[in-house]
Amino acid sequence: MNLPDPQAIANAWMSQMSDPGQRQSWFNAAPATEAHPLAAMMQDVGAHIKPDAMERLKNAYLQDFGGLWQEVVSGKTPSISDRRFTSAAWQGNPMTAFNVAAYLLNAKFLTAMVETVEANPQQKQKIRFAVQQIVDAMSPANFLATNPEAQQKLIETKGESLTKGLANMLGDMGKGHISLSDESAFEVGRNLATTEGTVVYENPLFQLIQYTPKTESVNQTPLLMVPPCINKFYILDLQPENSLVRYAVEQGNTVFLISWSNPDKSLANTTWDDYVDKGVINAIRVVQDITGEDKLNMFGFCVGGTIVSTALAVLAARGEQVANSLTLLTTFLDFNDTGVLDVFVDEAQVSMREQQLKGGGLMPGRDLASTFSSLRPNDLVWNYVQSNYLKGNDPAAFDLLFWNSDSTNLPGPMFCWYLRNTYLENKLKTGKLVVAGEKVELGKIDAPAFIYGSREDHIVPWPSAFDSLNILNGKNRFVLGASGHIAGVINSPVKNKRNYWVNDSCKAKTAEAWMDGSTEIAGSWWPEWAKFLNENGGKKVKPKAKPGNTKYKPIEAAPGRYVKVKAD
């Protein structure tokens, strides 16, 4: 089947964005011509829809559009429920409301059109994603000429909002990203990542932070936290009231944390094996030496959990069981269903990256950030285009969005290995991969696991997080939280927000069966995790008075230098 390439669709759309006439005429269902390549490509998509399905779509569209036009002719303002267009500025003018209603109708038609394409699931996912990008980008809210709220502010401020918006846009062009937050409001080490601690070890790949105890006694078994290397660790240590690191310390744990370096050219040849062996396993050795404990409570978040699990499997192959427990938050071990990220991973795209980077080089942090922003374009792109540029507003101070813009690079060989062996070929769970000279068999990790998924996670779908229960052989527990990949995890008990689900009464093999028998509980899931750590923390002991030891002496105060390095 010769379906159009989604990237080509996006490129064609980009070629039209600068021409309002073409944009408007196309979205008003103009006929496909050479001057309208996007419409032509959608016609090509339509060629792969059964004629009877296409006829039904066309008839439904004409009927809906006819009804909409009759409303306008009769003087009735179309009803609009989309949250982007709920203000009086959008609904107070019949023609503005009609423009919105026509956009929503066309968006509905295009979406339905894609759903009837005869293609395999991955092809359809790619087309669906590309069309949704187009639909979101073509919203009338994104253009000054069709945004009555921005026009109203332009008049009220006598042009000042447009001047400020242009200044905001030029400033962001200089920074290389859209400002999602007031970046002057935050500074790592001043009001972010402020949990007291000391860097006790460093190598080119990471710094190891030992946090200062806050309780009179601590669990004998130390906790080693491994954040994702794809972004900065301080998502786990934002401000005191929403810091998972501080919470773990306050619950009576001796907490260590890996702060990954932001790779530059000196780390351009770093591999996945290096992150496992020179990273996590090395950190384990340092923590063992400092605390005198052979076993640790291990923690991994997102790709950090994938790296931790790989490291523990490597050690198990060497005859060592160093984990007293394992915590995995929104982590893939089985990459069978990677959700919307699947649109970015196929043989052609992975091969292209391998040609570019496998022999050495860096995957730029800005490219990774753009990819993740494209997963939620209305929330992370267009919302700020409208507010910052069209209306001239300054973004509010928001710690999580400040962190979101603080991107990190990845070494090319590591990134390519990760793409091919996990996302593309799903080999991690097979027991056939060799990492750091050892066969990786995740089922040989001998430790109870606390596995967490977020119900609305678009990066690690929660059923995929759940599937880790069927790979790890310990006494495992799954907890499901509300919200998404980040907000679901960073849900402190202080604010008593959201809810979570548990199901400890059955041995469900599927996520659906687990959910059917689950119980919903109001508030944060963090206390459930704290209970798990206490159950696997050993006896209570007096905390050590000083960080490090004679071999690993204090280097600098937390959060350390590495986390402050910006991606080029």
Three-state SS string over 169-224 comes to HHHHHHHCCCCCCCHHHCCECCCECCCCEEEEEECCCEEEEEECCCCCCEECCCEE
pLDDT number for residue 322: 98
Q: Is the pLDDT reported for residue 518 higher than 80? A: yes
Alpha-carbon torsion (229, 235, 237, 238), positive or negative: positive
- pLDDT tens for 403-451 read 999 999 999 999 999 999 999 999 999 999 999 999 999 999 999 999 9
Distance CA 563, CA 408 (A): 10
Count the residues in the chain: 568
% of the chain beyond a pLDDT of 90: 75
Poorest-confidence range of 19-33, 143-157, 178-192, 427-441? 19-33
Q: What is the mean pLDDT of the chain?
A: 90
Compare 558 and 21 and report the one with higher pLDDT.
558
Cα-Cα-Cα-Cα dihedral sign, residues 325, 329, 335, 336: positive
Q: What is the pLDDT of residue 179?
A: 93
The catalytic position among 229, 302, 416, 506 is 302
Number of other CB atoms surrounding residue 44 within 10 Å: 15
The tens digit of pLDDT for each residue in 332-353 reads 999 999 988 888 898 999 999 9
157, 211 Cβ separation under 8 angstroms? no
Average pLDDT over residues 50-77: 87
Q: How far is CA 203 from CA 259, 282, 286, 314, 555, in A?
A: 11, 10, 12, 21, 12
Q: Tell me the residue ranges of DSSP E strands in 13-106.
A: none
Q: Give me the pLDDT at residue 248, please.
A: 98
- pLDDT at position 39 is 54
Say if residues 464 and 334 touch (Cβ distance below 8 Å): yes
Residue with tokens 């944390």: 257
pLDDT band at 9 (very low <50, low <70, confident <90, very high): very low
Q: What CATH class does 197-362+409-564 carry? A: alpha beta
Confirm if 200 and 234 have CB atoms less than 8 A apart.
no
* Per-residue tokens: 336: 């069978």
Q: Where are the domains of the chain?
A: 6-156, 157-185+365-398, 197-362+409-564
Question: Residue 202: is its pLDDT beyond 60?
Answer: yes
Name the one residue in this structure whose structure tokens are 């394992």.
326
**Quick check: is 229 catalytic?**
no
443 or 121: which leads in pLDDT: 443
HSE of 467, CA atoms in CB hemisphere, 13 A: 15
CA pair distance 240, 29, nearest whole angstrom: 52
What DSSP state is assigned to residue 299?
E
Q: Is 461 or 34 the better-scoring residue by pLDDT?
A: 461
Q: Rounded to an integer, what distance in angstroms lies between the CA atom of residue 90 and that of residue 77? A: 10
pLDDT digits (tens, 9 = 90+) for 279-303: 999 999 999 999 999 999 999 999 9
Q: How far is CA 75 from the centre of its chain?
A: 45
Query: Residue 20 pLDDT > 80, yes or no?
Result: no
How far is 460 from 398, CA to CA, in rounded Å?
Answer: 24
Query: Phi/psi zone of residue 209: left (φ > 0), alpha (ψ -120 to 50 degrees), beta?
Result: beta
pLDDT at residue 125, as a whole number: 86
